[in-house]
Structure formats: C-alpha cells, structure tokens
Amino acid sequence: MIFSSVSLTPILSNSWIASRLWTPNWRNGVFSSLTLVHTFASSGSRLLKNKNHYKRLVLSCCSRSFSWQATALSHTNSNSHAVSSNGQLSYGRLLPCPLENSPPRVEHLVVTKEGPVLEYICKALDLPPLYVEDLIQFGAVYYSLVCPKPPPTASPEQIKVYEEVTDPSVLRKRASIKGKTVREAQKTFRITRPDEIVEAGTYLRVHVHPKRFPRCYHIDWKSRIVAVTDDYVVLDKPAGTSVGGTTDNIEESCATFATRALGFSAPLQTTHQIDNCTEGCVVLARSKEYCSVFHGKIREKKVKKLYLALAAAPVPVGILTHYMRPINMAPRLVSEDFVKGWLLCQLEVLECKRIPWPRSEIQSRYNLADCGWALKDFAYECQINLLTGRTHQIRAQLAACSAPLVGDSMYMPAAIAEMVSPGSNPFGKNKKLCTNENDRSLTIDEWIAQHGKEPSVAVGLQACQISWDDGKHCYGARSPWWR
C-alpha cells in the first residue's frame, strides 16, 4: 500500500508512559507490559496533570536485565550524569567517559511540531542542548518517517496511539512518504546533525544512556596498528572495546580511534566483528569498495582465522561440532545434537597445552570476573581454527564441553551449574526428556537464567592470526594478555 501526504496535525494526547522491553534491542520492535518508572515519577506526575495539553508519545524502555530502581542511580559512577538531591539524574556532557554505564534508558517519541531535532528532543526529554548534541555525535538518535508497528505485547494505549498516527487518512497528508510503502517509511536511520528538521509525525528513538567504552581512552592506538596498506588497516584490537561501535555509540569504537591515530580524513570501515571482550586481529577497510571486496572473501571462505583460547579445563584436540539456536540475543544456546533450523557451529582444536592460571594482578588489570571456578592452579591454552563464524561461538562451544573460557562471566556460571547438577542444560549430554512443550520452555528459561552477564573487559580469547587469499595476506597479533 502506498501513501502520500503533507503533514501530520498533532493528534496525540498521551502522557508519560514507561514500558519494559523483553529484549534490549529496539530494532526487533519489542514492547512489553507497562510499568511506571520510579525514578521519573515527579516528571511523570507533571505530565499527567497536563495530559490534555501535552501532546506527545513517549515510550521509555530499558533492557530486561536491569530493574529500574531509584537506589540504583545512587551507585552510578558517572562524570556525565550527577544524581541531584531529589534522586533524579542531572545531565551534563557525555565526556569525560564514566567508568561505569548508566542505567539503560531509551526514549521513543512522535514529533508533534516541525522544527530542529535538537530543539524538540531537549524540550520533550528535558535534556540540555550540549548533551543532546553529544548523543547525536555518538549516533544515539534515530528517526523514521512513520512510527514502527508495536508487537503483540504492546498495551491497548500504545496500540491506540500507533493506530492514530499511522491512520491512512493521516499518512495521505504527508508529502515526505509519497511513493513509499508503510514498511519502507518505518525504516530507521541515524540523525547526523543537530540542526536537522523533523516534521510532525516523525518517529524518534533516543538512546539517552549509550553503552560506554572507557578503555578506549587508555589505549596507545598507534601501537596497536599491525599493518597499513592502500586498501586496509589491520588492528590488534584491545579487549573491552567495540570494533565498529554499538547501536547507540559509534564514537567510542576501534574504527574511530584507529582512524584518528593514523590521521586519516576518511573513516575506516568495519569488515568483520569480534566480541567486545575478545582481543586480536581485525581488518578495517579504507574504502567502501574494499569493504565489499573483503565481505566477498568472507562469503567465499577465503578468510582464515586462528584463535588462542584460555580454557578453564582441557579441551580435546579435533573438530567440535554443535548447533546454535538462531535467535539474535545472548546467551547463545548450542546443542550437541542436530536441531532443525539451528545453525552449524564447527571449530578445530589444533593444540591444547596446560599453562599457569593468570596471576591475580593480571586478572585485576583486565577486570577478569571471578565466576566461581574451583580449580585455579592451571588453565589450558588452545589454538583454534574457526571453521564457522557464529557470534559467541568459541565461548559457547567450549562452555558446552565443560571447558569455559577464563573470565567468561556469561558462560562459565552455566557450565558450573551443569557440572553441579547434570541435566540442567536441556541441550547437553545429560539432558532430561520433557513430557510436553510447556515443560520444555520452562527448562530452557531456567537454563538461560543460569548464565551471567557479559564480561566487562576481557575473557581468555584472542584472534591471534588472520589470513586470506591462501596465505598471501597473513597478519598476527601480539602475545595475548595472559602471557
């Protein structure tokens, strides 16, 4: 269906709404049941009193892993946000970078009056202009011409507002979406300038608390450059950093800091990813053209990656095969048995040797999590040839073999739980048979709950070597952090 239009008259009569996401990724389009946010109660009350005059939609949401409480804010160690006497956050600038992340906060707005995006966000969310400018610089503000469709878990009030702003009679008046289908008009894009004009009816998503990467500011980035050519740069990525940035933060990324360290005018581009907690070789393209070329080499399996993994227990030499659940959220679940629709995961353990467990001062330097592993005299350094490149693949596969990576606060707790209580893992060797689908779903949820949070800085994993074109191009990283 195609719509044409001129503008959207203000039709919203919504007050402050707070909702809790089932998943932390808004792009999956997921709402959940409504709850009022305790920390914003005072501002919410002010809006409720003026709800007949205050015409905007705000959907305030946070990830499922965080429980909004006023007391949590008092423990936030942040230079960009200070806690005022009434317990609310006071905003300044995004730099200097705080040592800890602020509580997740994502705001969803529908613009009611055309004007500069900076001005609208400042008024709608009561944020200072410099802070909003920083959010835009970080790539934390998105827009779409039409509000995305809420999922089945949305409240009746949310659905009503969505239906109002996307009614065909309203959309036909908006020239900006002429010739576009609704699906096309609902695609989100980053706001790149604070002076961009947004028309009435535009949907905005503001990541008020971007995920931060303080370690970016403590790295000698020039020393991490392995090679520079006319087409690409090879970087020895430090643990605790993002290769190309996150949904809400493209500023504090390896690509950005490497570009500045080399003095390039054109930004380096990401060709492939490794986990934030993983260190080692990554290839950054110097042009869109070579970025496409390298992507083609990956698709054609011309790129070979070798890893060093520091496991808490010995791993058998040879090929390990698992199947990964095709759901784009952590933790990644793997099964030893074939499951229809699940993704093949294969790696080859080339070598496994016993070495001393990392010293306490090294663990402290890299914020290594103490996950409760009992035997800490020795660890096992494994050289791994990655045959398939799935997210968290090495971490999930080795944990499924009762040999989780040292410091892996997400997968090690689950591996310990399975060792203590065999059968906890519904996809492991000792899995218990479920009599019905409800029991199976409950068992899977309980297994997911056994996993911990993502490591803050490092785990025992390094992308030690990358090569392509049959070894014509081959590059290695420095010694891993645990040596």
Q: Which residues are catalytic?
A: 275
- Whose CA is closest to 208, among 111, 135, 110? 135
Cα(378)–Cα(381) distance, rounded to whole angstroms?
10
Q: For 130-176, give the secondary structure using H, E and C.
A: HHHHHHHHCCCEEEECCCCCCCCCCCHHHHHHHHHHCCHHHHCCEHH
Burial 392-417 (b: 16+ CB within 10 A, else e): bbbbbbbbbbbbbbbbbbbbbbbbbb
Burial 129-143 (b: 16+ CB within 10 A, else e): eebbbbbbbbbbbbb
Structure tokens at 43: 């501002």
Place of tokens 């090569």: 467
